[in-house]
Amino acid sequence: MASQPNSRPSFFKVIIGDFGTKLQLPPFFVKTYKERFIENPVLKTTCGKSWVVSMEKTNEKYWFTTGWPEFVEANKLLVGDFCVFWLNGDSTFEVSVYGRNCCEKQLDVIEIGRKKTVVSVNNSPTISEEDEEGDDVGEAMTTLSYERILNKYNISFCSLPVRFAKGIGIVSEKKMVLRDPEERLWPVKLVVRHTSGGRVDIMHGWSDFRLGNKLAIGDTCFFKFIPSAHNVLHVQICHRDRGKSLKPEKI
């Protein structure tokens, strides 16, 4: 029986070498699917942003060239990052970018007062400190994310920076719902703290979420807020050292 053609073929690239100006496509992928290519394909990330790039042939090799440097800069690509490209029928490549911590990178822009701040989820756990404390949050983009590496203090609660909470408009909320990678919903209660610059703690319900997802010290949680899903924080989890658990230490 003949194999069925792949309607959504994909390839991956580990970001190494001189990647800043161009990126070579895998020869076998090009040979198999080049009839579906156009000269100027579109690269679209999971946050919905798109870049038009040129595809050039040099010495029987195909490369992303013009437009690729802008993609690299916008997505803060670093040596060791990992990109997966899915080819759609309209010659659009949907791209997922993973950092060196093995978790998907999210780069979002929020507008605080008159300033636009880039939030790099994988490389900086908090919103940029360049913004003034008293600035009001304006319009947010489609998604906004925050990364938290769990420690021994996250047994019974998990803290979110007040700037992130303002950015997604939950400072005045007392309850929210966490949605885990298995699409399960976990109701939680929020408490605003005004010490140390301010924070919002996920309190009642966090322990259930932690135990239900087998979270341990060193695991990373990515909290992603999507405005269309009001009052829901989507949580992606990257498990690391399974040798440590979040159990209360004996005094």
236 pLDDT tier (thresholds 50, 70, 90): confident
33 CB-contact burial (10 Å; exposed 0-12 / middle 13-18 / buried 19+):
middle
68 pLDDT tier (thresholds 50, 70, 90): very high
Which run of H or of E encompasses 95? Answer: strand 92-98
Domains of the chain plus CATH, in order, are 10-98 (2.40.330.10), 142-238 (2.40.330.10)
Instruction: Give residue 210's region: left, alpha or beta (phi > 0; psi -120 to 50).
Output: alpha
The whole-chain average pLDDT of the chain stands at 76
Residues 81-110: what's their mean pLDDT?
A: 80
For residues 241 and 42, the model is more confident at 42
In the 8-state DSSP scheme, what is residue 23? E
| pLDDT score for 91 | 78
**Dihedrals phi, psi of 20, to nearest 5 degrees:** -70, -25
Each residue of 161-189: pLDDT tens digit?
888 888 788 878 888 899 888 888 899 99
Separation of alpha carbons 32 and 168, rounded Å: 44
5 pLDDT tier (thresholds 50, 70, 90): low
Report whether pLDDT(66) > 70.
yes
245 pLDDT tier (thresholds 50, 70, 90): very low
**Dihedrals phi, psi of 237, to nearest 5 degrees:** -125, 130
Report whether pLDDT(3) > 50.
no
Residues 52-76: what's their mean pLDDT?
A: 90
Which of 130-134, 156-160, 169-173 is least confident? Answer: 130-134
| pLDDT score for 212 | 94
- The half-sphere exposure of 178 on its side-chain side, counting CA atoms within 13 A, is 24
| pLDDT score for 241 | 58
